[in-house]
Amino acid sequence: MNLAAAVHAYLDDGTLPDLPVDHFIDGAFVAPAAGERLETFDPGLARPFLAVAAGTAEDVDRAVSAAQKAQRAWGRTKASERGAILMRAAMLLRAEAARFAFAESLDSGKPLQEAEGDVAGAARAFEYYAGAADKIEGETFPIGEAYLGYSVPEPVGVTAHIIPWNYPISTAARGVAPALAAGCTVVAKPAETTPLTMLMLAELLVRAGLPAGVCNVVAGTGPATGAPLVADPRVRHVTFTGSVPTGQGVMQAAARNVASVVLELGGKSPLIVLKDADLDAAADGVIGAIYENAGQICSAGSRLVVERAVHAALLGRVLERVRTLTIGHGLRRTTLGPLNSEAHLARVTAKVEAAKARGLTPLVGGAATADPETGAGWFFEATIFDDADAGDPLVQDEIFGPVLAVQVAEDTAHAAALANGTPYALVAGIYTRDFAAAHTLARDLDAGQVFINEYFAGGIEVPFGGNRQSGFGREKGFAAVRNYLRVKSVAARIG
């Protein structure tokens, strides 16, 4: 695929490359049982561009049945063969990166360069878990010379993956790849606003050699497809990324079947800047932490906690960088893309307007806007509120948009207290030249992951997940493989 030509063709006259519109079940694209379709929208132009299958419980049943039928053979496939298939998938994904990035940018709205990074990361995830497949090992137990004791890790069975709209290909890869490496089968439900790349990925996996039925995708709404999927008693594990209320519902549904769950929920993550930090590096970190993907990131650095001694100097640098951001359609490689849907734009706008009504005034931004080139799209300005009160909803509530709340700390201890002062505990960032202070803060912060001197540091090798209202369980790293395994212990008298 010639990416530049495809972008120009779409933006000039709406011409699209071949994109999937049906469910992917038992190794093939299949039309929805009820014949219903959902429009998927281009957020940069605020208009539909494709009609995709709208699933029902009947489609879910068919997908779970296919996964259950395929489970035994896939779980007993030699681990090295599973790894080889995942490695071929990684190679194919790299070879077809342009097509995937185009679909991801168009469907989600994110700038094309960010989508390209997401596709590269997804390929790396399949590569990583390809290498993990034949490293899944049991143990032996010292229970005496007359006995042999050992454990056998087994796949849990059929797994459900509820994929969010903000990082469709990334989140799919970090869940699906370790599940397949462990020998599990998959039924994935992509977000209704971003179904394309998960459908594309399932078809790519079959071309890489994955047997039919091992990875299935049912598109549709949460109530019509997600709910029956997580409630199906044949599903033995659910991996969910999304909001706290929906995650609570998923956990309740899975509990009725005593199925295991990994929840990656919301965040209100702090980025702490101490007075000795490299302020230029910190300012760059702030910009990436809150304005990448227009702030639509669970782990976004949506709170800047800065020591008073450098508050003004840092904020000046951040504001300079905000003024260089370009708003526009993601396929034109702008730096601040749209929000994913009209409904989400309304939610973000309402939270900012409520802050203004409480008497808060943004230093910059603070309003919905449009692509200056077309006058269309679901955009929100890069926004900063300074010196926010610790109890204000701007500090406490997840906005999930390009809105930064600044909190001023008197010292390192105060910074830690402010950072821990919300119900969320997903990630945290620290900028300082003081090695001891950095690692003392890393110890004292309640967060599933801590970044030091680079926000979003790390990669697929580093476990990721939250505490408290941010969820539980860990994805990425080898920890993710363990989500999809159960341990069988064997004790035998041999003498």
113 CB-contact burial (10 Å; exposed 0-12 / middle 13-18 / buried 19+): middle
CA neighbor of 292 nearest in space, from 158, 149, 111, 145: 111
Token pair belonging to 170: 């990334």
Q: Which of 116, 264, 381, 398 is catalytic?
A: 264
Q: Which of 298, 340, 381, 398 is catalytic?
A: 298
298 as an active site residue: the answer is yes
Q: Which of 166, 216, 293, 340 is catalytic?
A: 166
CA neighbor of 185 nearest in space, from 216, 217, 230: 216
Q: Which residue has the tokens 């549904």?
A: 253
| β-sheet with 383-385: strand ranges across | 383-385, 403-409, 303-307, 270-273, 427-431, 449-452
CA neighbor of 303 nearest in space, from 207, 138, 416: 416
CA neighbor of 342 nearest in space, from 16, 68, 90, 45: 45
Element (H, E) at 270: strand 270-273
192 as an active site residue: the answer is no
Question: What is the full DSSP assignment across 176-237?
Answer: HHHHHHTT-EEEEE--TT--HHHHHHHHHHHHTTPPTTSEEE--S-IIIIIHHHHH-TTEEE
CA neighbor of 186 nearest in space, from 170, 200, 175: 175
Residues in the chain: 495
- Residues with a catalytic annotation lie at 166, 264, 298, 475
